[in-house]
Amino acid sequence: MFTLKPEVGYQPVSVTITDAEGTRTVPASTTYTMKVERSCEVVANFRTASTAGSNSAIARGVRTLQSLAQTGDNASAMLLALAAVACGALGCAIVFRRKREDATPED
């Protein structure tokens, strides 16, 4: 008997069992407990768990990048990274301009 349980921060996606009877996928559950009585192969797939309330722009961006990394589509990821750099540069320019205006003596 053995148990498959995800580490903290992960959630199960599926468990596939292949034995003399064929291949079957077990529905997702938090913990799997199985009794092994003959030779078989068990493949468990887990993914990063989504936490409740993590729908901020940063969390959505991270999920998008993770999804794109899995599909191999890097063009969108590059555009997202470029947009992030541009927003950061714009933010810095605004801060420096305000500091310069505050430092300028009034006539």
The CA distance from 37 to 20, in Å, is 11
Average pLDDT over residues 3-23: 82
pTM of the prediction? 0.40
Name the pLDDT band for 55 (thresholds 50, 70, 90): low
Average pLDDT over residues 56-77: 68
30: nearest Cα among 53, 67, 4: 4
Give the pLDDT score at 13.
Answer: 82
The CA distance from 101 to 22, in Å, is 73
15: nearest Cα among 67, 30, 7: 30
Mean pLDDT of the chain: 76
